[in-house]
Structure 1
Amino acid sequence: MKKTDRKRNTSEKDSVFEKRKKVIYDFICDDLYVPMKAKEIAAVLQVPKEQREDLRAVLDALEAEGKIFVSAKGKYTKGQAKRLTGTFQAHARGFGFVIREGETEDVFIPEEQTCGAFQGDEVEFIITRQKESASLGGGERRMEGKIVKILSHTTTRIVGLYEKSKRFGFVRPDDQRVLKDIYIPEGKEKGAVSGHKVVVELTSYGGQDMKPEGKVAEIIGHINDPGTDILSIVKGYDLPMEFPERVMNQAERVAKDVSEADMAGRLDLRDWQMVTIDGEDAKDLDDAVSLTMENGNYKLGVHIADVTNYVQEKSALDREALKRGTSVYLVDRVIPMLPHTLSNGICSLNAGENRLALSCIMTVTPKGDVIDHQIAETVIRVDERMSYTSVAKILETQDEAERDKYRTLVPMFEQMAELSHIIREHRKQRGSIDFDFPETKMVLDENGRPIDIKPYERNTATKMIEDFMLLANETVAEEYFWRELPFLYRTHETPDDEKIKKLSTLINNFGYHIHVGNGVRPMEVQKLLGKAEGTPEEALIDRLALRSMKQAKYSPENTGHFGLAAKYYTHFTSPIRRYPDLQIHRIIKDDLRGRMREERIAHYEKILPEVALQSCVTERRAEEAERETVKLKKVEYMKERIGEEFDGVISGITRWGAYVELENTIEGLVHVTNMYDDHYEYFEEQYELIGAHTRNVYKLGQPVRVRVLGVDRLQRTIDFEFCEADSRQQSDRES
């Protein structure tokens, strides 16, 4: 066919399509028209079956133009549905959610309605289904929507595994929320070969039937090379590894020894007995503690490194610290917020060295009430660098060698243990919730391979420092709340009623109860955890309760901290590794030095919302990256143990299987196809799976024995199967 003929045919088709659009639009605009579904429109207009798809295309085109919209029940009406905007959060299973600023509830987006949106995209969407009663398991279904337009892409680079084909290449993204491989044209691979982990710069986001396209911007290393796995996560989360030269030069210039001029005008506490207590490997020691008795009361000093003395506002160091927001603690390395010259040097409260500090000195009664306090710029000299292990030996096991080695400090440690218990009980009485989850302790060899994974339990010393830091944070927050000055708080909102109702339903299956009325109180959650303490289901109840909580955040507005049952709370104690702490130190020092005039107040009121938002974003990023590196090493560890059996507890039930957590904190999934059943019955309200044929019951919190089936390093997942001989499996037809 000639080119002119093809053009003529295309033009004729377009003309026919436009005529059909006009016919359908005029029909829907008619005064006698009532909302109809597509098949009803086809019946009224006598559209032949073979042209039904053409009708659907016409309706879709009119909807895309905003001339008509389809209701939640699939009926078409004149006009445009209300268009909303938000941020798209993708899910590895294809669907996603849109988060709207100022709204507490997100909107579910089915897989077929995502419009090709990427994780983090700013999108325009419409609501297709309002909240309604769910048909399964009670409760309510969330709102559903449809993305109609992508306003902007935030994902510009993707990390993944490069694979070479004959005349092109493609990259399998590490981020499971990116559902399509990235097409790499010939000549755009930058020398990458199959097995290389790479950073891809996107040049096209693809479409309905077209893959995204990109070019290799950086080769991280081969997947089998030591360190490549962690570095891929670092690059994937865009974590800055190196400091700019300007920042490093500035750090070198300001990291001078403490001089007499530096100490002038400060409260001199160098003759006070004080220690730092940290993990054995810690190098950035930003808090020291002291304790004496005075008139029957405890005089507790929490002394925090005065980092603001070296990191001036708006300096290159300050801008870089705000950009990073926080130090990131990965399994094999730390990515610091500040250069090591500062964080491990002059800002670290090293024993025997003069150091500048910001101190909160509190007078605490034997009942745990803070009856007086002083916040001051100080100069200190730490007597001893202690570890949690060493202090625990002194206090818990009464280790003679350790007590003799630190005999001059033992009386203070014993008083600290007393005060810690008092403070903890005082918090408990007001309803503070204490989630005592074991963290994962990971031992790696010189090549970064995991050789041991086990729970890392808190001891007396870790709890003691936690209690003292919490008390200082509360004291500082309350002081500056009542001063009515601009400030940055750490807030934690009351949980949503829906989540508490769901928690109530779940725990009822274990014989527990929580009051569901006009808002839950922290005390009720605390009582629930107390009842479950020491029981087989303790870890599960703790986890379910935690999942019902909201995330804590930074805010210039003080709305209290639900989890701590505290009216006032902030982060004051870690300015080396958290920017919010650094920010409020500046505010405190401006106040102490009499600089808090109108101009300075206006300045802080302007910048604090931005600082709070940036701090929340970087905190989430750091948490996700830390979690991903732990998952990766757990997968590597279990790869060497395929076929082995382990004891565990069912930690989650979903439509695709049961999650099982082992005693060493590793979690894997038993897929429904591995449950010896053709299909299964899922009960959302009871949160259990029941085999359709065997009637085996799989419940939350149930002890089980599992066998390792396999692992997926790219997806960082572990697959289990239940052991058939496990006598603890239930097989009760009446369940």
Structure 2
Amino acid sequence: MTSNKSQDSDFKTLQDPFAQREAEKYEHPIPSRELILLLIEQFGKPLRRQQIAQQFSLESADELEALRRRLRAMERDGQLVFNSRQKYCLGDGHKTIAGRVLGHPDGFGFLKPDDGSDDLFISPREMKSLMHNDRVKVRVSGIDRKGRREAVLDEVLERNTHQVVGRFYLEGRVAYVVPDNKKINHEVLIAKEDIGGAKNGQIVVVEIIQQATSHCQPLGKVTEVLGLHMAPGMEIEMAIRSHELPNSWPDALLAEIKGLKPEVPETAKQNRQDIRNLPLVTIDGEDARDFDDAVYAQKTEKGWKLLVAIADVSHYVQVGSALDTEAKSRSTSVYFPEKVIPMLPEILSNGLCSLNPAVDRLCMVCELLINEDGIVIRSRFFEAVMRSHARLTYTHVAQMVVDGDQELTKKHAALMPHLQNLYDLYKSMRYQRELRGAMDFDTQETRIVFGANRKIEQIVPVVRNDAHKLIEEFMITANTAAAKFLNRKKMPRLLRIHDGPGTEKLLTLKTFLGELGLHLGGGNNPRPLDYMHLLESVKQRKDAHLIQTVLLRSMSQAVYSPDNKGHFGLALDAYAHFTSPIRRYPDLLVHRAIRHCLADKSVESFQYNFNDMVILGEHCSANERRADEATRDVVNWLKCEYMMDKIGQEFAGIISAVTGFGFFVELQSIFVEGLVHIASLHQDYFNFDATSHQLFGERTGVRYRLGDTVRVKVVRVNLDDKKIDFELLQAAKKTTKSKIVEKKPDKAVGKAPRKNKSSKSTSPAVSKPKPKRRRKI
């Protein structure tokens, strides 16, 4: 790069290639936009307006005013960014960025770019014409006061909100619907002729007949009246429609499955290995209805032989069939409390494909030879016909092989040697899992117990015993073998990938740990083993729960992709989903690829290529998120309903999240989460420290930190917004004044008011996703 002195000379003598255009348009022409961009690009650093004017020898008042207006216009168009130091730097305005819109209840939004770059802020003004989940192209218009790139809409690529579910209101001659999904900030207007018999206050389904614009609210038509808000099961009906979950079977599919019988036809059993004599068993939860995996282990001279038999869904669901089209559309079964929306019709999910006891079933088997140290030394796949010898539950298996329950042991005497083999093998494999550093966070799952009229009786913790861990370990091993097999065959395949922590999250995590005197090994590329070593070292600390939570939140989300990036959480180089084809479409795709290889067909003749897998991976990942969001909405609603008669009651709880507007508390006895708003903390002026996950008072030294134990009172439950508000009863711990002064607050988030002012909660009752089902890895 040339010196600034040389640059000064170059630009004062350089002829503007667009000078004639500028002279034709303006009485007092100034350098063109192109020349201004070239100036900043060659300088290689941001410039003040005065510096730009000096480079072009602009001195008169008219010239300086024209330059100011041009720079502002370039800023609006995203060609330039005006940074916090009041300098102009090159923007991305000449580029468009495609991505998905993420709405926020407060009216603004974010763009999640397709290229994986950082999210862009979308102002409430720009969100007027957009809805949550729309796909758009935007340009960068500048940097907001919090240092975020701000987006301006360039083009709407795809509208993804075609219907909304919400409460119908009729006020005079104006009818409108307030969506239940708070990420949709628009009220949908309803014309008189499109009310469809809805009455004030009812829950309705509305078809969007005209999307929102910058000047007009969206218009809709009532297509279904669901009924009253508090009707039993209404929360599930709302979630299904709000998230547009497919929940009815197309006529073409019903016609296709009409000829299926409950029994496997004899012709389908031919040319398969017969393993019906092997005592394979299924081990699942008490409330499981579809059984897609069965296991068997036998001792060998050098270790064990493990068979993981998986329902052969690919035999029944042919590529391009109506069954396949619907399974792909759904991508996953959705599990609500006491209700399931299956990926496949019941005759398959609970019948022909389910490995029910004492009936013949088609299966795909992963056979693994494992040595005494628990290391897989060889694996193979084959098609078979099997017969499950028992339907066992996690609870009963643990009582037999761990606790030695005599009554159950006697009842299953014929199976006990095989169950003991399974348990002995698991213990060896568990040791290998710990050696490689696979994540095993101690998270708490819960289950909602219903009484009469679907009223919640209690929320109970799910106890995870060694039988859960045994099945999980065997499924992980089979999934890993499937990924390695398809990698060896160079097949187009869909993998389950999980990236390690990103640079920014890792820096935040290390800063947090440093304040506690802790160190995460691995430098800039920590391994899973580094995480587990740290967790092991803090087990006896009082803040162990806090440290585990922060470690867990530094992780990214697992997704489906054909790119082999490995699975960080499981410390595996390659991983696929093979073991649940009844409820997950990616598993079905893996089965098809394996069957293609077993038939000794060429890679080129496979029905899918790499690009197909990219598209399918994105589709399945999005539908997995959709299912999780729908389930979370239902659980939040039910928990709010459960708390409605507990207003005024006091509970002990743990701070589960800290934000700039307060902190969330999970009640220890009933596992419900609510918000203590910062406006209710009267005694001080609180700053939010995002790095150390705490609010701290400037005057008193009081701090509220993630993992702290507090006592709260339930003061408000809002069923419509799925919010619960608590009031703090027990004062938090105090810290020394000097320690607080050293901390640098996150100015971007805001502070508590100095005076007590009424303020509404701004986050849902459960602000963060609960841990997913343990076998969803």
Alignment partner, residue 110 of structure 2: 97
- C-alpha separation in 2, matches of 1:105 and 1:517: 23
| CA 261–79 in structure 1, closer or farther in 2 if over 3 Å, else same | closer
1:491 deviates by 1.1
Contact 2:164 2:205 in 1 (8 A): yes
Contact 2:81 2:143 in 1 (8 A): no
Alignment partner, residue 106 of structure 1: 119
| In the alignment, structure 1 residue 617 sits paired with structure 2 residue 630 | no
- C-alpha separation in 2, matches of 1:274 and 1:434: 27
* Pairing partner for 2:665 from 660, 669, 677: 660
| In the alignment, structure 1 residue 651 sits paired with structure 2 residue 662 | no
1:277 deviates by 0.5
Contact 2:81 2:91 in 1 (8 A): no
- C-alpha separation in 2, matches of 1:229 and 1:69: 47
| In the alignment, structure 1 residue 544 sits paired with structure 2 residue 522 | no
1:597 deviates by 2.0
| Superimposed CA distance per residue, residues 350-386 of structure 1 (whole angstroms, 9 cap, x where no aligned partner) | 1111111111111111211112222110111111110
| Superimposed CA distance per residue, residues 557-579 of structure 1 (whole angstroms, 9 cap, x where no aligned partner) | 22211111111211110110011
- C-alpha separation in 1, matches of 2:410 and 2:289: 25
In structure 1, the gaps of 5 or more residues are 1-20, 49-54, 135-140
* Pairing partner for 2:644 from 626, 639, 657: 639
Aligned letter for 2:486? Y
1:131 deviates by 11
* Percent identity over paired residues: 35
| CA 422–130 in structure 1, closer or farther in 2 if over 3 Å, else same | farther
* Pairing partner for 2:596 from 590, 604, 615: 590
Aligned letter for 2:727? E
1:306 deviates by 0.8
Contact 1:360 1:374 in 2 (8 A): yes
- C-alpha separation in 2, matches of 1:306 and 1:266: 12
| CA 25–150 in structure 1, closer or farther in 2 if over 3 Å, else same | farther
- C-alpha separation in 1, matches of 2:540 and 2:455: 34
1:25 deviates by 9.5
Q: Which deviates further from its counterpart, 603-612 or 563-572?
A: 603-612
Alignment partner, residue 120 of structure 1: 133
Alignment partner, residue 18 of structure 1: none
| Superimposed CA distance per residue, residues 89-135 of structure 1 (whole angstroms, 9 cap, x where no aligned partner) | 12223332212222342223344554643212233323345699x8x
1:297 deviates by 1.0
Aligned letter for 2:131? F
TM-score (norm 2): 0.83
- C-alpha separation in 2, matches of 1:67 and 1:382: 64
- C-alpha separation in 1, matches of 2:335 and 2:245: 11
Aligned letter for 2:592? R
1:252 deviates by 3.3
- C-alpha separation in 2, matches of 1:79 and 1:386: 61
- C-alpha separation in 2, matches of 1:390 and 1:30: 75
Secondary structure of 1:103's partner? Answer: coil
| CA 63–129 in structure 1, closer or farther in 2 if over 3 Å, else same | closer
Alignment partner, residue 199 of structure 1: 205
| CA 221–534 in structure 1, closer or farther in 2 if over 3 Å, else same | farther
Aligned letter for 1:194? N
- C-alpha separation in 1, matches of 2:490 and 2:305: 27
Secondary structure of 1:704's partner? Answer: strand
- C-alpha separation in 2, matches of 1:540 and 1:563: 19
1:149 deviates by 4.8
| In the alignment, structure 1 residue 730 sits paired with structure 2 residue 743 | no
| CA 511–721 in structure 1, closer or farther in 2 if over 3 Å, else same | farther
Q: Which deviates further from its counterpart, 229-238 or 655-664?
A: 655-664
- C-alpha separation in 1, matches of 2:91 and 2:405: 79
Alignment partner, residue 758 of structure 2: none
- C-alpha separation in 1, matches of 2:380 and 2:374: 17
Q: Which deviates further from its counterpart, 66-75 or 539-548?
A: 66-75
- C-alpha separation in 2, matches of 1:281 and 1:435: 24
- C-alpha separation in 1, matches of 2:726 and 2:666: 10
Contact 2:92 2:140 in 1 (8 A): no
> RMSD of the TM alignment (CA)?
3.2
| In the alignment, structure 1 residue 224 sits paired with structure 2 residue 230 | yes
* Pairing partner for 1:629 from 615, 634, 639: 634
Secondary structure of 1:505's partner? Answer: helix
- C-alpha separation in 1, matches of 2:332 and 2:383: 24
5 Å-filtered alignment, 1:151-170, equals 151-170=157-176
- C-alpha separation in 1, matches of 2:312 and 2:121: 46
Contact 2:437 2:570 in 1 (8 A): yes
- C-alpha separation in 2, matches of 1:516 and 1:131: 35
Q: Which deviates further from its counterpart, 180-189 or 468-477?
A: 180-189
Aligned letter for 1:657? G
In structure 2, the gaps of 5 or more residues are 1-23, 37-46, 740-777
* Pairing partner for 1:464 from 446, 450, 470: 470
Aligned letter for 1:548? S
Alignment partner, residue 364 of structure 1: 370
Q: Which deviates further from its counterpart, 481-490 or 377-386?
A: 481-490
* Pairing partner for 1:485 from 491, 495, 519: 491
Contact 1:388 1:461 in 2 (8 A): yes
Contact 1:274 1:288 in 2 (8 A): yes
Alignment partner, residue 94 of structure 2: 82
| CA 172–602 in structure 1, closer or farther in 2 if over 3 Å, else same | closer
1:209 deviates by 5.8
| In the alignment, structure 1 residue 259 sits paired with structure 2 residue 265 | yes
- C-alpha separation in 1, matches of 2:415 and 2:658: 50
Contact 1:115 1:149 in 2 (8 A): no
TM-score (norm 1): 0.87
| In the alignment, structure 1 residue 417 sits paired with structure 2 residue 429 | no
1:709 deviates by 1.4
- C-alpha separation in 1, matches of 2:640 and 2:322: 39
Q: Which deviates further from its counterpart, 415-424 or 598-607?
A: 598-607
- C-alpha separation in 1, matches of 2:88 and 2:118: 27
Secondary structure of 1:584's partner? Answer: helix
- C-alpha separation in 1, matches of 2:624 and 2:135: 21
- C-alpha separation in 1, matches of 2:190 and 2:437: 56
Secondary structure of 2:658's partner? Answer: strand
- C-alpha separation in 2, matches of 1:276 and 1:30: 69
| CA 616–44 in structure 1, closer or farther in 2 if over 3 Å, else same | same
Q: Which deviates further from its counterpart, 225-234 or 340-349?
A: 225-234
Alignment partner, residue 750 of structure 2: none
| Superimposed CA distance per residue, residues 188-243 of structure 1 (whole angstroms, 9 cap, x where no aligned partner) | 21111122111222234445564333222222222122111221011011111111
Aligned letter for 1:466? E
- C-alpha separation in 1, matches of 2:78 and 2:112: 26
- C-alpha separation in 2, matches of 1:68 and 1:598: 47
Aligned letter for 1:101? D
| In the alignment, structure 1 residue 235 sits paired with structure 2 residue 248 | no
1:689 deviates by 1.1
| Superimposed CA distance per residue, residues 534-575 of structure 1 (whole angstroms, 9 cap, x where no aligned partner) | 544333323222221111111222221111111121111011
- C-alpha separation in 2, matches of 1:698 and 1:22: 61
Alignment partner, residue 252 of structure 2: 246
- C-alpha separation in 2, matches of 1:512 and 1:305: 46
Secondary structure of 1:619's partner? Answer: helix
| Superimposed CA distance per residue, residues 430-459 of structure 1 (whole angstroms, 9 cap, x where no aligned partner) | 121112312121112242222111221211
How many residue pairs get matched?
695
